Chains A and B, each alone.
Chain A
Amino acid sequence: GDSWGIFTFLCAALCNLPALPALNCSEELGAGQSIQQTYDLTRYLEHQLRTLAGTYLNYLGPPFNEPDFNPPRLARAERVPSATVDLDLWRGLTDNARLAANYRAYSRLLCYLRVLDGQVGTAELRHRLGHFCASLQGLVLSIGGVMSSLGYPLPTGPAGPPTPPGAPAAPNDFLKKMDDFWLLKELQTWLWRSAKDFNRLKKKVPPAVVTLRLEARGF
């Protein structure tokens, strides 16, 4: 159904091949390699974000672009699922939960970034943001692909409206900039965390998973 469709698209995109039947593709890629590619994507995005954040924070101006800027977290609605987690809890996450947390977080982060994209002033920023959003979209698809190849259902839920019902939009310019600041911070922290998440997944998804699937298909 839907998950196979996504997986095929992912295969085609990453393999640079015409859309092959899903069966042949799973033989070539396997969950292990998809995880490696997802890991590589998070590192690439982390690198991209460094430049993007620098430009964007300069656009926001002081104090947001000061390296020591350490504001308190205002009591506004939690817009994005936080990457922050208890150490033992994080270690004990099942593969499904780990992947789902990443999928949900980046889906929502992507939404907020797209809203930002529609608002920023300079052409340079629009260009950088646009590029970053495209890469982030690739990451979401990549994670979705890994989940599908492992047989996990994709998380459903609010992927649309960026503002949860009842949460007020920023009442003034400064608070709006604070929201943007925290959005970039959350993104930065999630990318830092995801590399570790996918490292754990790399070790835990054994080649046996792929072999089993091949056997089931009679290869």
Chain B
Amino acid sequence: IQYERVGADVTMKCGSMDWDAAVTWTANGTDIDESHLNGSYLILKNVDLSQSGQYSCYEGSSWHLKYQTSLKVGTPPKEPVLMCRSNNYPKGFYCSWHLPTPTYIPNSFNISVIHGTKDMVCEKDAIPKNRCHIRYLQLFSTVKYKVTLTVTNPLGKNFTTLTFDEFAIVKPDPPESVVAKPVPNNPRRLEVSWQNPSSWPDPESFPLKFFLRYRPLILDQWQHV
């Protein structure tokens, strides 16, 4: 496999063949025109994504396969987008990330979490892939957490860092089973019921506060309960 940047000039040699040997190049099985050749070298200028594929080089008359490579055109990673949130306080928090633009080649992610002087392990989730979670060892810490995400691919690397206090990332999931029922014999009333989000582990010690707003469809203004 050969990785190249979008816009780069690529030169492919036909294995150990001499420069002046007679060869034929194919791209995904289709012959390549001689104008792209410099001797037996294949020159691809200013490559774009559509030029990714299987390139093969055959000796002129015998049609022996002398060289083959899979060209993958892509970009080095831009600075990744990282977010950390505790939707299950006080159990822990999770961090999730993504790249702002695709690189078109495989990327690997490495995440590090430092709490004061301690290194913590962020366990990667199976699903979704770009997420890991951490369990709080201590509660009510005065020391910030520092999370660094590094993304690497064959064309380069990039990283981003988040620093935050324990309480700054607490954000529960939305309420569940929100139901609005009409009240019998009272057309001007609605009964709204809901449940704590199931991800919130301890509503007894860490109660959630809910705010309700409503409006008839024909009006634009919301009213608050």
Residues of chain A touching chain B, judged by Cβ–Cβ distance below 8 Å, are 68, 70, 72-73, 82-87, 90-91, 182, 185-186, 188-190, 192-193, 196, 199-200, 203
Rounded to whole angstroms, the CA-CA distance of A70 and B206 in the bound complex is 27
- The answer to whether B207 touches A90 (Cβ under 8 A) is no
- The answer to whether A192 touches B167 (Cβ under 8 A) is yes
Rounded to whole angstroms, the CA-CA distance of A115 and B90 in the bound complex is 34
Q: Is B85 an interface residue (CB 8 A)?
A: no
Q: A193 to chain B: which residues have CB within 8 Å? A: 139-140
Q: Is B143 an interface residue (CB 8 A)?
A: yes
Q: A186 to chain B: which residues have CB within 8 Å? A: 142
- Candidate in B136, B139, B205, B206 with the most chain A CB atoms within 10 angstroms: B139
Known: A87-B137, A188-B142, A189-B142. 14 other contacts (CB 8 A): A70-B163, A73-B116, A73-B143, A83-B142, A84-B141, A87-B139, A90-B139, A182-B142, A185-B142, A186-B142, A189-B140, A199-B205, A200-B204, A203-B204
Rounded to whole angstroms, the CA-CA distance of A72 and B137 in the bound complex is 19
Q: A87-B90, A196-B205 are in contact. Are A68 and B163 (CB under 8 A)?
A: yes
Q: A83-B142, A85-B139, A87-B139 are in contact. Are A72 and B206 (CB under 8 A)?
A: no
- The answer to whether B140 touches A85 (Cβ under 8 A) is yes
Nearest-neighbour CB distance to chain B for A71, whole angstroms, equals: 10
Q: A73 to chain B: which residues have CB within 8 Å? A: 116, 142-143
Q: Encode contact with A along B7-26: 1 for CB under 8 Å, 0 otherwise.
A: 00000000000000000000
Number of interface residues of B (CB under 8 A): 19
Q: A82 to chain B: which residues have CB within 8 Å? A: 142
Nearest-neighbour CB distance to chain A for B188, whole angstroms, equals: 34
Q: A72-B116, A196-B205 are in contact. Are A87 and B136 (CB under 8 A)?
A: yes
7 contacts between A and B (CB under 8 A): A82-B142, A85-B138, A186-B142, A189-B140, A196-B205, A200-B205, A203-B204
Which residue on chain B has the smallest CB distance to residue A91? B205
Q: B137 to chain A: which residues have CB within 8 Å? A: 86-87
Q: Encode contact with A along B133-159: 1 for CB under 8 Å, 0 otherwise.
A: 000111111111010000000000000
Q: Is B186 an interface residue (CB 8 A)?
A: no
Q: A85 to chain B: which residues have CB within 8 Å? A: 138-140
Number of A-B contacts (CB under 8 A): 54
Q: Is B117 an interface residue (CB 8 A)?
A: yes
Q: B117 to chain A: which residues have CB within 8 Å? A: 72
Nearest-neighbour CB distance to chain A for B169, whole angstroms, equals: 13
Rounded to whole angstroms, the CA-CA distance of A196 and B170 in the bound complex is 14
- The answer to whether B116 touches A84 (Cβ under 8 A) is no
Q: Encode contact with A along B103-114: 1 for CB under 8 Å, 0 otherwise.
A: 000000000000
Which residue on chain A has the smallest CB distance to residue B205? A200
Nearest-neighbour CB distance to chain B for A92, whole angstroms, equals: 12
Rounded to whole angstroms, the CA-CA distance of A59 and B37 in the bound complex is 70
Across chains A and B, which 8 residue pairs bring their CB atoms closest together, nearest first? Answer: A83-B140, A193-B140, A70-B144, A185-B142, A189-B142, A200-B205, A84-B141, A84-B138
Q: B136 to chain A: which residues have CB within 8 Å? A: 87
Q: A199-B206, A203-B204 are in contact. Are A189 and B90 (CB under 8 A)?
A: no
Rounded to whole angstroms, the CA-CA distance of A190 and B167 in the bound complex is 12
- The answer to whether B167 touches A196 (Cβ under 8 A) is no
Rounded to whole angstroms, the CA-CA distance of A125 and B136 in the bound complex is 36
Which residue on chain A has the smallest CB distance to residue B170? A192
Nearest-neighbour CB distance to chain A for B134, whole angstroms, equals: 13
Q: A199 to chain B: which residues have CB within 8 Å? A: 204-207
- The answer to whether A84 touches B142 (Cβ under 8 A) is yes
- Candidate in A85, A87, A90, A186 with the most chain B CB atoms within 10 angstroms: A87
